[in-house]
A and B are shown apart, each in its own frame.
Chain A
Amino acid sequence: MTALTELTIAEARDALRAKKISARELTEAYIAAVEAARPLNAYVTATPERALEMARASDARLAKGEALPLEGMPLAIKDLFCTDGVPTSAGSRILDGFKPPYESTVTGNLWRAGAVMLGKTNMDEFAMGSSTTTSALGVTENPWRRRGDNCPLVPGGSSGGSGAAVAARAAIAGTGTDTGGSIRQPASFCGIVGMKPTYGRCSRWGIVAFASSLDQAGPMTRSVRDAAILLKAMAGHDPRDSTSAPNPVPDFEAALTGDIRGMKIGVPEEYRIDGMPAEIETLWQRGIEWLKAAGAVPVEISLKMTKYALPAYYIIAPAEASSNLARYDGVRFGLRVPGRTLDEMYENTRGEGFGAEVRRRILIGTYVLSAGYYDAYYLKAQRVRARIAADFAEAFQRCDAILTPTAPSAAFPIGEKQDDPIAMYLNDVFTVPVNLAGLPGISVPAGLSSDDLPLGLQVIGRAFDEETMFRVASVIEAAAAFKARPPFVAGEA
């Protein structure tokens, strides 16, 4: 039979219920894979003992015929989710030694659904980045390589650890968070599925905050069906997050009918940006053809504000971050660097605890919120944000879902774009507008670049209509038939 670590969640679910495999066997295979994947530095903390304990409980429930929806599924958890008694770093020195005495709502939901925790995965510090190179815990490598070139590539970011782990078969699936593309861009770079839900679909409680009006947790998986299964368990109303939506959680998996006949698919002309490689444009066209062949109708739409989404984001996100990150003061948790006075202790702690990119963003956020600049920067960005949201609302009068590329390039070498923050920010040009508008978006692996790197297509849905988005994504997935595997797979020499 297929190696245990090749199974999707849907396949493992069937195998577990048919008693062809046990949760213990599946978990043990993944614990070995986590070990074998060490060269990638995808995990920052492995929790094999906890995993085995959870697998034992899963086997007990399976034996009684009381299997839960995610029974026995070994998951990688981004190190931004607070996990009870397990170190949570957010990729930052300033959270050195922090062990939350509580569990985030989303991870709690997963464990209550029977899932197994393999460990915590690396990320850009405080989720600020598109490369997983800014973590205080080291750089994560993408398991993919360009053809004939052994140069290590970034896995994308900020959820690059989960992306690399899932792609390298060192987790059956993972969690990520997405503030401007941090699930979808690494999914595209790693050749997996990554999905950002509608803002409010998943509780933010217990997730280390970056930009609270944009942050959303979501699944990173090896199939669209798995993303649908995982999201159902992650999502749901939580009174502890006032922005958590009281909407019922649909059975997303049931939406995967494959029937998109008559559906209107928006194609935004403004996404044809200068300098985008021709192969990405070609892949996008192919995606449109696939949907057309399945009976959907492509419609040209206009998202006029697209080019202003990134600059608006780089006011709003740093402004919110500068406020959120004020809590790291060396008093209640994490790093403390002594000083003679309280102020000096704050300054020393934050000076040494934050890395270069986080510091840059806190300073920008502080500046745009400071007296005299608030209207010119912050309020201006919020007005542009309103226009971006209005663009999408207007587009969705004419279409049911939108198809775009996920990112303007494939994975790039580690070390590239480090000296030019704006070049790094441009990675998120196609994903950021979706966060600003609070919409659901999913990246599906759709093909390979000329040098054999995965490329993703993004499907954007209406707010709280993940079902249509999933349905379209599953048609892309079936047509693309993406079967390529990364050169590095855990446990394969």
Chain B
Amino acid sequence: MALDKATVARIATLARIKLPEAEQEHLAGELSHILTWIEQLNEVDTSGVEPLASIAAADLPMREDVVTDGNCHDDILTNAPAASGGFFTVPKVVE
């Protein structure tokens, strides 16, 4: 599968990664190379094979519905790049 520059730009937007235009062409080539290599999977007959997402036991363990954590408000904010009044702050999203 060959990816073009526009597709790379679209994926980068989906992934919220700023990608200077100068790098898009190069990345398109690199990613196409990797995807072409990956496509050898099409040689494998997987008809009737169920997808395997994880080796761990499929049933999630249950526990009592009780509070097991909390009261660590300050700990959570210690690494915030910007915080104010006990909240994380971000650029304004509503006018």
Q: Chain A interface (Cβ within 8 Å of chain B)?
A: 97-102, 199-200, 213, 239, 242-243, 245-246, 305, 307-308, 311-312, 314-315, 322, 329-336, 338-348, 350-352, 354, 359-360, 362-364, 366-367, 370, 377, 379-387, 389, 421-422, 437-438, 463
Contact = CB atoms under 8 A, between A and B. Distances in A.
A445 B81 CA distance: 45
Nearest to A383: B46
A362 B75 contact: no
Interface string B1-41: 00100011001111111110000000100110111011111
Contacts of A351: 17-19
Contacts, number: 163
Interface residues of B, number: 51
A25 to B, nearest CB: 36
Contacts of B79: 97-101, 332-334
Nearest to B18: A351
A307 B78 CA distance: 46
B81 A389 contact: no
Interface of B is mostly: loop
Contacts of A366: 11, 14-15
B65 interface: no
A200 B63 contact: no
Contacts of B67: none
Given A364-B31, A386-B51, A389-B52, A370 B14 contact: yes
Nearest to B52: A386
B21 to A, nearest CB: 12
Given A315-B38, A363-B31, A384-B46, 5 more contacts: A246-B61, A342-B90, A351-B19, A367-B7, A382-B51
Closest 9 pairs between A and B when the two form their complex, measured CB to CB? A438-B55, A351-B18, A382-B51, A336-B81, A333-B79, A383-B46, A386-B52, A101-B75, A243-B56
Contacts of A245: 56-57
Nearest to A420: B33
A329 B16 contact: yes
B91 interface: yes
B11 to A, nearest CB: 5
Of B30, B43, B57, chain A has the most CB atoms within 10 Å of the CB of B30
B17 A342 contact: no
A246 B49 CA distance: 28
A329 B79 CA distance: 13
B54 interface: yes
A313 B31 CA distance: 15
B53 A363 contact: no
8 contacts: A99-B78, A213-B56, A245-B57, A341-B91, A364-B31, A370-B14, A383-B52, A384-B44
B92 to A, nearest CB: 8
A463 B19 contact: no
Nearest to A200: B56
A336 B82 CA distance: 9
Nearest to A435: B55
B1 to A, nearest CB: 9
B16 A364 contact: no
Nearest to A335: B81
A360 to B, nearest CB: 7
B38 A377 contact: yes
A331 B44 contact: no
A331 B31 contact: no
Given A341-B91, A384-B46, A421-B34, A363 B17 contact: yes
Nearest to B10: A370
Given A245-B56, A422-B37, A350 B18 contact: yes
A315 B82 CA distance: 35
Contacts of B66: none
Given A314-B34, A363-B15, A383 B81 contact: no
B78 A311 contact: no
Interface string B69-95: 000100110111110000010110100
A205 to B, nearest CB: 12
Contact of A421 (B30, B44, B51, B60): B30
Contacts of A307: 40
Given A101-B75, A351-B19, A331 B55 contact: no
B72 A101 contact: yes
A61 B42 CA distance: 60
Nearest to A325: B15
